[in-house]
Structure 1
Amino acid sequence: MSREEAVRRIEQVADENLTKLNLLGLQLQEVPPEIVKCMHLKSLYLGDNQITSIPEWLGQLSSLTELYLYNNPITTIPDALGQLSNLKCLYLGDNQITSIPEWLGQLSSLTELHSYNNPIINIPDALGQLSNLKLLFFGNNQITSIPEALSQLSNLKHLYLSGNQITFIPEALSQLSNLEHLDFSNNQITSISEGLSQLSNLEHLHLSNNQITSIPEAVGQLSTLIWLNLSGNQITSIPEALSQLSNLKGLDLSNNQITSIPEAMGQLSNLIELHLSNNQITSIPETLGQLSNLMWLYLGNNQITSIPEALSQLSNLKRLKLPNNQITSIPEALGQLSNLIWLYLSNNHITSIPEAVGQLSNLKRLNLLNNQITEIPEAIHIMKNLERLDLRGNPVLPDLDTERQKIESEGYFDAETLQDARRRITASIVQRQGQPKFRRKLLTAYAGRCPITDCDVESAIEAAHIIPYQGTQTNHLTNGLPLRADIHTLFDLHLLSIRPDTNEVVIAPELVGTCYQNLAERKLTLPQDLKTAPNQNALSKHHEIFLSKCKKSQLQR
């Protein structure tokens, strides 16, 4: 079937004189010879197949500008492809190619060469002749060295050589004056060449997961740099010269051996992300509070003992991660971080949560796992946007584990009261993560069907609350029904309800004579496990409001 489909597409392209032929993912074991009918082709897609070899006749497609051969078991590139003088993009990634032929350097029109995920050992010097090349992608091969001839690629903008066995970066690469993106991550490089500072247009420098021990001061001269990734090395210090990178937006120095953050780092006024997790840092300088554009600050797994109040000046901060440190308190001033969404402080020595944390109106995740917290302020309970609250491993609320077991095994939902603040807080801790799971659990309890309409199209079913959602303590199976979307709307508007004594559907006068009339007196289908059946008090409250609205409607008439 796959070959027949390929021939059909080829004939269509030939008959209609089209310039693009897409044969992706047809499980082809060879390149269909019928393609020679399409001499006018400019783009040929042969990726995601089972092709083992490239036929010589492919070199006759002289108009070809794009050739996609990725994700096949191809082992060699035939010499005939050297005739494709108009070729601009060549995709050879995810194959079994062991070497790049010298003649490839003759493809003078080539602008992109992709040969990632192959067992290639060497890059031929001839590639230095590709004067129009803008992108060279040789990631995840077995390359051990870079030929200096690549320095002749004067138009090169993107050079990707991650995931190889390269041990050093030749000084000659400093001649690539148009280079914007340089990726040597996941290699065996031990030092950064001073010559890289001459790359006047470099915007992204990725050198993560190497064996680099220091950052040369010259890196501070890369004035156009936007992102610098040196994570996973053996770096022990941050040079103050990095503070000169005025355009830097992302800096990742995580997983190193850094002991301190220089005060000068506060000068990186455009920084958005700062990753310094898994180091040996003992303190956070006050100057980091000057990073007015910072949105992510990751400092987990260090030896930090306190959070400076100056961090409260980070008005754009969205994520603050400080787990696995030695922090003893949360400053009240952090309550000023109005845009904060994530606050991770697990595995520290924190003893209390300041009331000011309740001012973090946009906070969605608060992780205080494994601290020494003994009580929870009421302000935490009323944080409307909080989705995840983790207080496990704290001495807070001794009955927490008992409550957790009760809630998980028997359910905890009291439609009448829920007045005990201590109990409400306990319940909300356990149930805080319940909202994303609420619909899924309802669907499971009701076998994926709406209990009123018997609709079994899950994408059309919504999680309805019997008593309107007022925090996670109302987010319980016994306060929920999986209703078809339109029924959910009518239920929320109290145009439809359930009689608590008979479990029969009742409809408002407005629905009489409509397509919903046949739902009247229909019995609600209960879940097999009656422990998850609708709470009778909740149904009564909903039904009372329904009756009240019906009376008002009749009076208005």
Structure 2
Amino acid sequence: MNRLSYCRFIFYILCFLLYACTDDKEVFQADKGYVQFKVYKSESYVKNETSRASGNVLDSLYEANKVKVVLRSNDYDFSQTLMLHAYDEQSAEYGLRSDKLELQTGEYTVVGFYLYDRAEKEPIFAGIPSEKTTFTIVSGGLVVQDLLVDAIGRGLVKFELIKNIQSRGASDSDPYPFSDINKVDIKIQNMDTKKTQEFKSLKVTYVEDFDDRGIGYRTSVGRIDTLVTAEAGNYKILSYAAYNRTELLQYFNDEVLGEATFTVTDNKQTDAKVPVTIMETAANIKDYYNLRTLWEELGGPNWSYVGESYPKGTNWDFDNKDIDMWGDQPGVSLDKNGRVIGLSIGDFNPTGIVPAVIGEFEELQSLALGTHNDKLRPGENPLADLKGGLTPAVLEKLRSDYMDNFALRDSRQDWDVQMQRCMVEAGQPAIKKSIVQPKDIIHGDLTNGITGIDKAIGNLKKLEVLYIANSPITSLPESLGDLKSCTDLEIYNCPRLTAFPDQLAEMENLTQLNMAMNPQLAAAFPEGIKTLAEGKAGESLQILYLGYNNIASLPTEVSKMKTLGKIDLIYNKLTALPAFGKDVNLVQGTFDYNEIARIEKDADGYFCGMDDVESLSFSHNELTEFPDIFDAKSIYIMASIDFSYNEITEVTTDKGINTNNLSLAGNALKTFPKDLFTSGSPLTVLNLSGNQIEEITNDDIKGEKTYMMTSLDLSNNRLKKLPDDMNGTYMPHLYGIDISGNQFSAFPWGLANISYLNTLIMRNQRDDDGNRVYKEWPTNIGNHKGLRALLLGGNDIGKVPETERLSYLINTLDVSDNPSIVLNVSSVCPYIKAGMYLLIYDTTQDIRGCDYLTLE
């Protein structure tokens, strides 16, 4: 019998029982009250005292739009039709509420009821109470009467992904991190009806949490906030498919899922666990087992982090987290599949021989067993966390770090602080301070206890970066020569290494080699460098750092390193530099702090190719002549050339030098290097401080590119005056000049004609006997519209005329150590108070016109 026929049958029975059934007849008394009917599913109803339903089964209560209730009062039967309400289909599952029905006071019995859908043609459900169901109306009161309907039970299900770690004996699966699951498809089956249901693209949120296995134990789950609806019953999970944002990660069916069951109860929420399979034989899990072995064999239980990337004392943890989270260790980098691609462990003080398990990290790209940063700049290690792998940006940072921060010296550091500020204001790059000074470097100061490396390291086919530093390692395995992918190698401060590792010459893709701070190999370096130059590495090597090694000579074979672009040889014992040759285009070269007295040239007159040079530095050596290795007409302008603190007595060159920044500070020049100007050198920054120059003539500064000069340091020479032509005509862009420590007795007024002049430093003018020779105040200097800093300290200026008013434009004024000065600063006092004017003075001086100043 179909649903409609069944409803008709029940309807005829009810009509037979009701001898006076009507919707319209008035039977009410004077006092009235209200009744409201609520329709519930019998499956989820729990009140025992109410009536039960009798009739066919509805698919959903939401189908019902109206209820017709048949009531009996005082042996009189009547019916009333009322609208039913629910907020939406889901809320209808929890019950429907009728309109309120107004009735006379008294007792009523529910004889039966009918439910209609929105079409209202035939009832979709007829119900008869299985036992007497009555309610009483009181005057002005409201009675709620429940009606029960046989309808399909439904509940809500909230899934959560949990980890199902399978033993090593299970079949392999592709590696991926549990945290990478972004969405999931889940298929379930009703174990009673055998019906299946599938939910697609459920959003997953990875959450790390603690569970009940002990305080601090780390685990994780995949939370799904989406609630899905299922019919009431007992279920099992048939299968799931896990995806990241773009592709399928894993699919598993009930053969592996096992007892993944749950029960759905009508109108209740059920939490169901979906066990996501993690295979111990997956490649990423194998990596994590290998991490534990590596840790154990290098004294892991005693590790204690000393850097700054993680809290002090940090160690690896394997006992308090799920196995798939073992890769989440400080200093360990993982790729998108959870494979280990980076290890940086030098800061944890590992001890012993790196074991053979190191060769099983198939995806390892970077291995750092200490770096040159460990002591002097801890925490600044780009290898500590390779989130994006060894990207070009990371490699660039690695390769420039040692040169930029430990070897390369910015010659502008020698300038007066105000002149440094002036140069930056003029648009030059910021002045970089060298981090390392000789006193900071202690050969043999170790940070780890690694004594050796197993030959299995040669199996690492993808290893690109290998750093070994601050270690008591005694030898290196021959298998290093098998690292065909290795581009960057550091063997820094390994004082117990007894032989130069000739196997490095076989590394066919070696790009950077840092072997600085190994002076115990001083005698072996010349032959070792020759071996490198003649081997496969010599064809690929671009960066070579060899500072602090006491190397006495370089082999001429360095000319075979055609790709060499950066070389550092600071703090060695070189007495001469061989020619690198025309084909070796150095970009940066540092040869400071040696004993170099000679720089060789090849047959074509080249020390090195000059097409790509950015900076060359030969400071603190024993050169007596300015080397004839440059040409002002070469293709590219070099950023910086440094010959400071040598013993150069004169600069003789017909070709000049093609650089913007040249330092000849601290030499023995007695005459101004006029050839630099007359040869057309494009100098913008020139440091001649600390020489013995006595005179500069007008002819000395004339050249086709003299106008480019912006910063000039002539301090600490023996000059008494400047040429008249050092003015706005020949040096129109001069921004700052320092003539301190000379013998000027008169103000160089030619400089005042340079409208761009921003900084003039004229401190400490003394004659040969040490007497102060500069005594005059530069009258009306405040009229200069460009000058911002005037430093006249250490002279013998007396009383400044009362008619002289200081200009607020010159906002830095140094008059300190002028014992007899009398100066009225009232015109700039408001600016001093506002912090907009820097007056450098002595509290014992006679400074007037500003109570804000501290004076004795």
TM exceeding 0.5: yes
Q: Residue 701 of structure 2: SS of its match in structure 1? A: helix
Q: How far does the alpha carbon of each residue in 1:408-456 deviate from its partner, in whole angstroms, 9 at most, with x for none?
A: xxxxxxxxxxxxxx2637979999999789xxxxxxxxxxxxxxxxxxx
- How many residue pairs are counted as aligned between the two chains? 419
Tell me how far 1:309 sits from its aligned partner: 3.4
Tell me how far 1:394 sits from its aligned partner: 4.5
Alignment pair present for 1:42 and 2:453: no
Q: Which letter maps to 1:43?
A: S
CA gap 1:145/1:113 in 2 versus in 1, 3 angstroms: same
Alignment pair present for 1:112 and 2:507: no
After superposing the two structures, state which structure 1 stretch, 118-127 or 200-209, moved more: 200-209
CA contact (8 A) 1:389 1:429 kept: no
CA contact (8 A) 2:354 2:450 kept: no
Residue among 53, 57, 79 paired with 2:451: 53
Alignment pair present for 1:249 and 2:660: yes
CA separation in 2, counterparts of 1:381 and 1:392?
19
Tell me how far 1:25 sits from its aligned partner: 3.5
Alignment pair present for 1:240 and 2:657: no
After superposing the two structures, state which structure 1 stretch, 224-233 or 193-202, moved more: 193-202
- How many percent identity over aligned positions? 23
CA contact (8 A) 2:599 2:627 kept: yes
CA separation in 2, counterparts of 1:74 and 1:390?
59
CA separation in 2, counterparts of 1:31 and 1:38?
17
CA contact (8 A) 2:795 2:818 kept: yes
| Aligned equivalent of 1:294 | 709
| Aligned equivalent of 1:350 | 774
CA contact (8 A) 1:235 1:258 kept: yes
Q: How far does the alpha carbon of each residue in 1:345-400 deviate from its partner, in whole angstroms, 9 at most, with x for none?
A: 11112222324532455545432122232244676722335235233135221xx8
| Aligned equivalent of 2:175 | none
Residue among 586, 589, 603 paired with 1:179: 586
Give the number of the structure with larger relative contact order, counting CA–CA contacts within 8 Å between residues 6 or more apart: 2
CA contact (8 A) 2:689 2:713 kept: yes
CA separation in 1, counterparts of 2:831 and 2:755?
22
Alignment pair present for 1:229 and 2:654: no
CA separation in 2, counterparts of 1:177 and 1:332?
48
Q: Which letter maps to 1:53?
A: T
| Aligned equivalent of 1:451 | none
After superposing the two structures, state which structure 1 stretch, 298-307 or 350-359, moved more: 350-359
User: Normalized against structure 1, the TM-score is what?
Assistant: 0.66
CA contact (8 A) 1:332 1:357 kept: no
| Aligned equivalent of 2:737 | 320
| Aligned equivalent of 1:193 | 600
Q: Residue 581 of structure 2: SS of its match in structure 1? A: helix
Q: Residue 667 of structure 2: SS of its match in structure 1? A: coil
- Runs of 5+ in structure 1 lacking a partner? 401-421, 438-471, 478-557
Query: Highest CA radius of gyration, 1 or 2?
Result: 2
The 5 Å alignment of 1:242-391 reads 242-243=655-656, 245=657, 247-267=658-678, 268=680, 270-286=682-698, 287-288=700-701, 291-313=706-728, 314-348=731-765, 349-355=773-779, 357-361=781-785, 363-376=787-800, 381-384=806-809, 386-391=811-816
Alignment pair present for 1:165 and 2:573: yes
The 5 Å alignment of 1:84-95 reads 84-95=483-494
CA contact (8 A) 1:161 1:183 kept: yes
Q: Residue 750 of structure 2: SS of its match in structure 1? A: helix
| Aligned equivalent of 1:209 | 620
Tell me how far 1:326 sits from its aligned partner: 0.8
| Aligned equivalent of 2:280 | none
User: Normalized against structure 2, the TM-score is what?
Assistant: 0.44
Q: Residue 366 of structure 1: SS of its match in structure 2? A: strand
CA separation in 1, counterparts of 2:820 and 2:831?
14
CA gap 1:394/1:192 in 2 versus in 1, 3 angstroms: farther
CA gap 1:312/1:376 in 2 versus in 1, 3 angstroms: farther
CA separation in 2, counterparts of 1:385 and 1:436?
9
| Aligned equivalent of 2:324 | none
CA gap 1:320/1:432 in 2 versus in 1, 3 angstroms: farther
CA gap 1:218/1:90 in 2 versus in 1, 3 angstroms: closer
CA contact (8 A) 1:52 1:74 kept: yes
Alignment pair present for 1:424 and 2:829: no
CA separation in 1, counterparts of 2:837 and 2:652?
46
Tell me how far 1:26 sits from its aligned partner: 3.7
CA contact (8 A) 1:262 1:285 kept: no
CA separation in 2, counterparts of 1:98 and 1:434?
61
CA separation in 1, counterparts of 2:648 and 2:333?
59
CA gap 1:134/1:260 in 2 versus in 1, 3 angstroms: same
- Runs of 5+ in structure 2 lacking a partner? 1-312, 318-326, 375-446, 766-772, 840-848
CA separation in 2, counterparts of 1:40 and 1:475?
68
CA separation in 2, counterparts of 1:330 and 1:351?
9
After superposing the two structures, state which structure 1 stretch, 199-208 or 343-352, moved more: 199-208
CA gap 1:257/1:36 in 2 versus in 1, 3 angstroms: same
Q: Which letter maps to 1:424?
A: S
Q: Residue 59 of structure 1: SS of its match in structure 2? A: helix
Residue among 542, 545, 550 paired with 1:137: 545
CA gap 1:337/1:140 in 2 versus in 1, 3 angstroms: farther
Alignment pair present for 1:67 and 2:466: yes
Q: Which letter maps to 1:211?
A: E
CA separation in 1, counterparts of 2:688 and 2:746?
21
CA gap 1:423/1:105 in 2 versus in 1, 3 angstroms: closer
Tell me how far 1:73 sits from its aligned partner: 5.1
CA separation in 1, counterparts of 2:725 and 2:365?
59
CA contact (8 A) 1:144 1:164 kept: yes
Tell me how far 1:189 sits from its aligned partner: 1.4
CA contact (8 A) 1:98 1:118 kept: no
After superposing the two structures, state which structure 1 stretch, 156-165 or 57-66, moved more: 57-66
Q: Residue 53 of structure 1: SS of its match in structure 2? A: strand
| Aligned equivalent of 1:19 | 341
Q: Which one has the bigger strand percentage? A: 2
Q: Residue 725 of structure 2: SS of its match in structure 1? A: helix
CA separation in 1, counterparts of 2:314 and 2:359?
19
Aligned-residue CA RMSD (Å): 3.6
